[in-house]
Structure 1
Amino acid sequence: MVKFTVTKKDPVTSARTGKLETKHGVFETPVFMPVGTNATVKGLWQEQLKELGARIILGNAFHLYLKPGLEVIRSFGGLHSFMNWNNSILTDSGGFQVFSLKDKKVLDEGVLFKSPIDGSKIMMTPELSMEIQMTLGSDIAMAFDECVAPELDRTYAQESVERTTRWAEKCLAYHDRSQALFGIVQGAFYKDLREKSAREITAMDFDGFAVGGLSVGEPFEVTRDILEFTTKLLPEDKPRYLMGIGTPDMIIMAVENGIDMFDCVLPTRMGRHGTALTWSGKINLKAARHKFSKEPIDPECNCKVCRSYSKGYIYHLFSRDELLGKMMLSYHNVHFLLDFTDRLRNAIREERFLEFKELCTRKQLIKNDTGVNVSEG
C-alpha cells in the first residue's frame, strides 16, 4: 500500500526526513499537504498545484459522499480521474466534519446526523467511511474515529477512546487494503488515555498513524505537551501524521517532535480573505498602506505572483472584490508553505534544524507559547 523509509534523523531533536511511496508516486517527508475538501484546493487548478510542487493533497470523505456522491465518483473510476490529479491523495474519514455538526447522535455503531445538503438522516459508520474511501480510491485512507471537544470531561473522553478503538477494528475488518489505511490516536488531553489509545491503535495492522484531537482550541503549550508525549508512543518505522496544522510555528513544533505529515486549509482560506504568509510574518493586503506599493508580497519569495505583481495591484484587486486577488494570494500562500517545508527538510538533512528554528524565531514566524490553537483543518 505504502512504503515508508526514514532517511535522516536530527541528532538533537526527534525531527526526521523520509520517503513515502504510494501508488501515485514518491514524496519526501516532512510534507505539507494542501487541502482539497471538495476535490479542489480552493482557488487553484490542479496544474498549478503540480507547478508548485505539491505531491500529495487531501480530499474529504464526508463532503464528497454528500456531493457529488459515490455514484458519480464510481462512474469516473475514482477521485484521481474525476479531478484529473495523478499524484497522491489522502482522504480524511469525515470524523472531524461529522463531530463538528451540532445536531448529531453518537451511537456504538456510528454517528446519526442530518445531511446539511437536504436534511436526510445519515448514519456514518466505520464501514460506510471505508466504503466511501475505497470508492474514492485515495492512496491513503483514514480510520473513522471520534474527535471530541476539548471541554468534554474525562469520563466521556475515556468512553470515546474505547469507541475509537472499536471503530478502528471495524475499519480494518471491512477495508479491502486496496489503499493504505492509517489509524488515529485519540485521548483528549489526558496522558493516560493517550497512552491507552496509542497502545491499542498501534497494536493493529495500520500502515501509519495520526495524532487526532489536537489544535481544536487548546493553548499552544498544551498541544506541544500532548504531542511530545504521544509521538513517543508511535512506531518509528511508520509515518506519523498530525491533522489540521499549517502555521510555521505549529509545523516547526510538530516536526521537532517527529511528525512527518500535516495538512491545513489555512493558506487558501487566508488568501481568500486578503492575508499573505511571508518570511516576515503575515501581511494584510486589504490595508490601504499598500495602495501605492510597487513591491512584491515577499522579496524572499520566488513564486510567479511575487515575480510578476505588486502589493499595490493586489490591494486594488481586493478593493474591487476581484476573484484574481483571492487566487493570487491562495497560490502564493500554498507556495510559501511548500517552500517552508522544503527548507525545513533541507535543514534536517544538513543537521541545521535548530539553526532553522532560531532563524524562524528571529523572523517572528515562531511566536511565544501563549497563543491558542484553533483548528484550520
Structure 2
Amino acid sequence: MTRIGIVATGSYLPTSVVTNEEIARGAGVTDEWIVRKTGIRERRRADDRDATSDLAARAARAALEQAGVDAEDVAYIVLATSTPDHPQPATASIVQHLIGADNAAAFDINAVCSGFVYALAVAERLLRTAGDGRYALVVGADIYSRILDYSDRKTAILFGDGAGAVLLGAVPDHSGIRDTLLLTRGDQYRLISVPAGGSRMPADERTLKEGAHFFRMDGRGVRSFVQEHLPGALHELLARAGVRREDVAHFVPHQANGVMLGEVWPAIGLPAATMHLALERFGNTGSASVPVTLDLAHRQGAFADGDTVLMAGFGGGMTVGAVLAHWGPTAHARRAEPALAAAR
C-alpha cells in the first residue's frame, strides 16, 4: 500500500487578541491566577461575521498554498470540530465549497478535542487504500467563544478560536504516518458536555435560561482521566510500532492546559523529545490545537527529515487519540498567514 504522510501544514488564527485581564473580570479571577493555573496569557477570538467553516477554509488554503497543490486534486476533506456551523449539513461540505475542492468527498468528525487526531487516522487509511496519488485535507477548527459561559472560571479562561490543517499525500517509504491509536471511555462522557441543543435536550426557553447550551467541564475529572489514560496510550502506540521512547524527537499534544501537561509529562517519559506548546499565546483551540501547534513549529523550522513526531489529542467523550509519524520532505512555508505573522 502507498505510504501516506504530511506534505504541508497550514493554520489560521483570528487577529483579535483577548487578554487574561479581559477574561478575568467576568470570571472573578486575576491574570496571575489564570497564568498559575493554566500557563495561558491570551487567546484569539473570531470575528462576529465568521463561522467555523470560514476559519477552516483559511487554514486549508494555507496548507494547499504551502504545498503548491490545487484544491481540485483533493480527494477527501475530513473536518474535526465540536462547534459546527449548523447541526446539519456537515461543516466540511461548506469548506469544500469555499475552497473549490469540487472533487472531494467531505465529512465531519466530532471527537471534541481529540477530533483532529481521529480525523488524521481516518484520512490516512482512506488515502492509503485508494493509492490514486490524490490528497486529503485534514482540518481541525473550533470557535469556542460562542459556547462559553464567561462567568464560569473553569472554562472561560481556557479557550480560544482557531483552525489548523494538514495536507496528506504519498511520501517516501522512510517517512509518513507509521501507526495510530484511538480509544474512547464512554462511561465518562459526562465530564465534558454541552447539555442542550441535541435530541436529548432540545434548546428551548428553559435551557436558555439555565445556560444548558454552554460548554461545561469537570476539570478535576478531566485531569484524572488524562493522567490515567494518556501515558499508557502513548506507550502502547510506541511499543506496537517498535519505536523506543528515546527515539521520539517531537511531541505535539492537545493544548488543553499548560500546567496539566507539565504534570503528566514525566509519566509520558520521552527523554529526548521537545514538547511543542502554543497555548501561552492562543489558549486551548479545541480540535484546532494540535494542527495549529504543528504548523507553527513547522514554519519555524523545528522538524528535520526523519524526525519521529508523536501527536496526541484528548477530550470529550472521553477520548484519546495518538498518531506516530516520521517527518519527511514537506513543502517549506513560503510565507506565513498574516494572522500568524502578527502573532509571533
TM-score, scaled to structure 2 = 0.28
Give the number of the structure whose alpha-carbon radius of gyration is greater. 1
Higher strand share: 2
The structure, 1 or 2, with the larger RCO (C-alpha pairs under 8 Å, 6+ apart) is: 2
TM-score, scaled to structure 1 = 0.26
